[in-house]
Amino acid sequence: MNPKKTTQDLLNKLDLFDPDTGKKVRSDLQNCRTAVSPEMLAVLVDETIWGLSLETSFGLAVARGMLLLICRDPSCLHRYQAAIHLAGEKGPTLGRLMATHLVPVLLSGHSRIRQLFFETFEMMENAGVYTLPKPLEALDRMLFSDDCRSAETYLNLLHSAFSREMPYHRRQQLTVLLPKAALQYAPAKRPWQLQQLERVMRIDDRLASALINGMNKGLDLLSPAALLRFVSQGIDQGRTERKRGERFFALESRAGCSAFAELQVAVSLPEVQPHLNRYLTARTGREVSVRSLSVLNAGTNDVSPAAAGTCSDGNSVYLPDEIDRFDTPADNRKVYKCLARFEAGLIEFGTYRFDLEKTLEQCSCIPGCSLPLDIEGIVTDREETISDLERFFGLFPQPQQRLVLKHRKACEPKARIGLQKEAPDPAVLVYQKQVLSQLRLGEKT
């Protein structure tokens, strides 16, 4: 039997049943990095045709789900088939939801997440199929980004929310409110923030909604221990009187605001951004703006506040979304000022004005220069991820030479811009300490 002919026959069979689905399956097969055997493809085609017989969108969801599992983990296929058949017997809409959202759950490889998914799916199904789509879309995003800790806590939250007796309109509100809130939280903080939200949800869904409002007003800046204390105080307030607890969590009462102010030590970038923008403009004489580091992380906001860092492209300074290095907000504001000052020094003293082509032309005039000075080849064959300075340092054959050159380049303002400045800027001093530390440790930069 010719495998190619068999594969073609199977795809033709799918085309006869539904040409549009067959076309999409062919396209997905071309993008699959793993070769799909005729035996696997036969199973996929049969299951897809079964799904198409119930509803077109269900059949397409089955085809794409099975193909993704075949390409990444074929051992999950039997469990997947059993689940979609069980759901499909209850209706094509439920079957399509199972076929779509079970895939990342199985690919995660976590048995606990798989168990929670089936339990929560059944719970939400009993509450109403309308509760499933948006919450499960948020779950997919967490699992596909390998955020399994958040996914597990999020499933617990959904289970607690939709196992409660509540009116239809409240359930409908939660189908929007919970996934939106979960995806807004920074991935580094999301697990323990969702854990506290689930803790409140077990007591009262209206208190949980108030807590979500409070998180949007700044409670997300609290540390794990501080948020734990705040939530405990809010639960005590709610047990006395529910409305009082809602106002406390939503930061609409004096008690809530006072508790928050007492516990908060982190400072967010929007709080200090206007002041830093004015400072950078005055310091550099240019329109230099402060932006969030999360912009450089494709908007994921996956920057830990504990790892306060900074970078610049010469036009903007990128700082962490928040900083909680010290025990008081005032000290954390100073950290923002220091980080901005360091990057301002690099802009002020011309680090980003380095021109590789002009530097090589100047080097060619030095008698006895042994550097490779193929200016045209070096300048045109640049990698986008490597700066001109790094390419210039890379011309030196010995790593130790490169390190010393970087050290001198950072610590001598006269050599950097050819101006008569006697004192190095703050960024230079920090970089100098880093380089000297590496030299003592015998590390390579």
For helices 77-88 and 92-108, the axis angle rounded to 10 degrees is 160
Which of 80, 109, 138 is the C-terminal boundary of a domain? 109
Q: How many CA atoms lie within 13 A of 103 on its CB side?
A: 22
Q: Is the pLDDT of residue 254 over 90?
A: yes
Structural domain count of the chain: 3
Note whether 334 and 414 are same-domain residues: no
User: pLDDT higher for 223 or 409?
Assistant: 223
User: pLDDT higher for 85 or 372?
Assistant: 85
Question: Is residue 366 situated within a structural domain?
Answer: yes
Note whether 98 and 29 are same-domain residues: yes
Question: Is residue 173 situated within a structural domain?
Answer: no
Note whether 298 and 383 are same-domain residues: no
Note whether 337 and 363 are same-domain residues: no
Note whether 84 and 4 are same-domain residues: yes
Q: What are phi and psi of 126, to 5 degrees?
A: -65, -35
Which of 317, 332, 348 is the C-terminal boundary of a domain? 348
Note whether 330 and 368 are same-domain residues: no
Q: Is the pLDDT of residue 98 over 70?
A: yes
pLDDT digits (tens, 9 = 90+) for 47-64: 999 999 999 999 999 999
* Contacts with 33 (C-beta within 8 Å, 6 or more apart), sequence order: 71
Which of 325, 348, 371 is the C-terminal boundary of a domain? 348
- The per-residue pLDDT for 432 is 45
Note whether 4 and 102 are same-domain residues: yes
**Domain range enclosing 306:** 268-348
Indicate the pLDDT class of residue 294, thresholds 50, 70 and 90: confident
Residue 323 burial (CB < 10 Å; 0-12/13-18/19+)?
buried
- Across 288-370, where does the E strand assignment appear? 289-292, 311-312, 316-319, 322-323
Note whether 374 and 434 are same-domain residues: yes
Across 67-86, average pLDDT: 93
Note whether 336 and 374 are same-domain residues: no
Query: Which of 15-29, 32-46, 199-213, 357-371 shows the lowest mean pLDDT across its residues?
Result: 357-371
